[in-house]
Amino acid sequence: MVAVDSEIAPLLAHEQDIYDRFSARTKSLVVAQVAFCALLPMFVGGSFVPSIPQIARDLGTTGAVVNVAVSLSIFGSSTGSLTWARYSGFYGRRPIYLTSLPILAVGSFGVAAARSVPALMFWRAVQAFGAGGGFAVGAGVIADMYRLEERGRAMGIFFAAALLGPAVAPPIGGFVARYFSWRMMQLSIGVAAIFALGFMTAWMPETSQPGVRGVDKLKPGARRAVLLNPFKDLVLLRSPNILAACIVGTGVLATDLLMLNPLAYTLGERYNIHSEAIIGLLFCPCGLGNMIGAPISGRLSDRAIITWRAKRAGAWVPEDRLRATLLGTGLLVPLSVLSLALSTTFVSNRGLGLALAVIALFANGIGVDFALTPLSAYAVDILHDRSAEVTAATTCLRGTLIALLVSGILPALDRFGMLATHAAIAALAWACFGLLLLTIRFGREMRAWVDVGYTTSVAS
């Protein structure tokens, strides 16, 4: 729990005790559970890509055809995220986990058993749909349990686990595919989903705050089975603040993926590295940076809220949390992108070049989480009653934009070279930094442009 100075404590005394329904130990257990469920979608996506050549050979097709399954998984995950978040607001968080995890398991076993391209595509979409709710519903769970001044820390722990996936899933997927089979990796994901279902069934409480679920508001005897429109929550992106936070998060996260995805073509070709194992290990510094950066940034964002509320005699300005993102967004992210390109381009010594690359990737991992964790907590702060829904909407848009950006990175590297491409990515990061500064400065006015039902009290 974040320490609160004695002069600040009276400012928080009026908040509801609804956040004390669970003990600190129970909260920690729940965060660990939902973080694991958020990690599974990262393995669904990240472990598949290194296996594409082997899958193509196994099914007698081309890598380009199998790569369509990646696009299908993005669509399936986005649709799943919106669907599960929408229904979690109506029925609660626990029923959604108990429904989505079996679908993830069945989809994973279906992918592992696929003997044709159509079967692979179908089960891949089912698998991604089942995994889609892990991130959005998990953010909703954290909003249910933690006060405003504690939320950033909990979100940081959640992000540290979830964002470990993009760093470790590709090397693990490649290792399993090389020494066992790509089908074994998919079977493992299915088994992990069943394991998650078991501990969710045994230990996951319903975290939704009393009276806020749609099912709680039904009249006695009313029909409890409802059909909801999952795409309705995309209307939350009408909010200039939510859209700005989503764009900043997209630009920052894109630098991470655009540095990592082509490592075999950048560092690999420059330093004559052709081992999948070594290339996979180069993903790890960024993952380590994620693990370190997320909890730190969460605590810093909570501290920013507490400090600035004290300066304003208790008045809450949501954009104060975004001050914790400035170091990552303005310095660590763009400078790490540039330094990787500069060292790879101009340092011919393999040992020194790889050492500088590791430092750049580690710094990027820290910087990305210094931005993403407070940005996600900010979206939950200003739309607390729809925390899962706003997380799903921003995740859907972010995933779509990043998919488009990633698809163009290899052509850009071929045409313009690494230095020019990375300079453009760094420029994008600095543009996002500018948008972030505007949001911090004019956030109140931006919220007045379009009201999507913002949270008005720190007790929410």
- Largest Cα–Cα distance of the chain, in whole Å? 74
With 0-12 CB in 10 A as exposed, 13-18 as middle and 19+ as buried, what is 321?
Answer: buried
Beta carbons within 8 Å of 227's beta carbon, 6+ residues apart: none
Residue 164's pLDDT is what?
Answer: 76
User: Helix or strand or coil: residue 336?
Assistant: helix
What's the gap between Cα 338 and its chain centre? 24
| DSSP symbols for 130-163 | HHTHHHHHHHHHHHHH--HHHHHHHHHHHHHHHT
Residue 249's pLDDT is what?
Answer: 93
Q: What is the rounded average pLDDT for all residues in the chain?
A: 86
Q: Would you say residue 157 has pLDDT above 90?
A: no
Residue 2's pLDDT is what?
Answer: 39
As a whole number, mean pLDDT of residues 153-159 equals 85
Q: What is the dihedral sign for C-alpha 292, 298, 301, 306?
A: negative
Residue 10's pLDDT is what?
Answer: 43
Residue 459's pLDDT is what?
Answer: 55
Residue 67's pLDDT is what?
Answer: 67
Task: Please state, in angstroms and as integers, the Cα–Cα distance from residue 123 to each residue in 44, 69, 112, 186, 298, following that order.
Answer: 12, 10, 9, 11, 36
User: Helix or strand or coil: residue 312?
Assistant: coil
**pTM score, two decimals?**
0.81
Q: Residue 277: pLDDT band by 50, 70, 90 thresholds? A: low
Q: Residue 422: pLDDT band by 50, 70, 90 thresholds? A: very high
pLDDT in tens, 366-418: 999 899 989 999 998 999 888 888 888 998 888 788 877 776 777 888 889 99
pLDDT in tens, 306-339: 999 999 888 889 999 999 999 999 999 999 999 9
As a whole number, mean pLDDT of residues 341-352 equals 93
Which domains are seen in the chain, by residue range? 23-210 (1.20.1250.20), 232-452 (1.20.1250.20)
Q: Would you say residue 89 has pLDDT above 80?
A: yes
Amino acid of residue 233 = D
Percentage of residues in the chain having pLDDT higher than 90: 42
pLDDT in tens, 46-85: 777 777 778 888 888 876 677 677 767 777 888 888 899 8
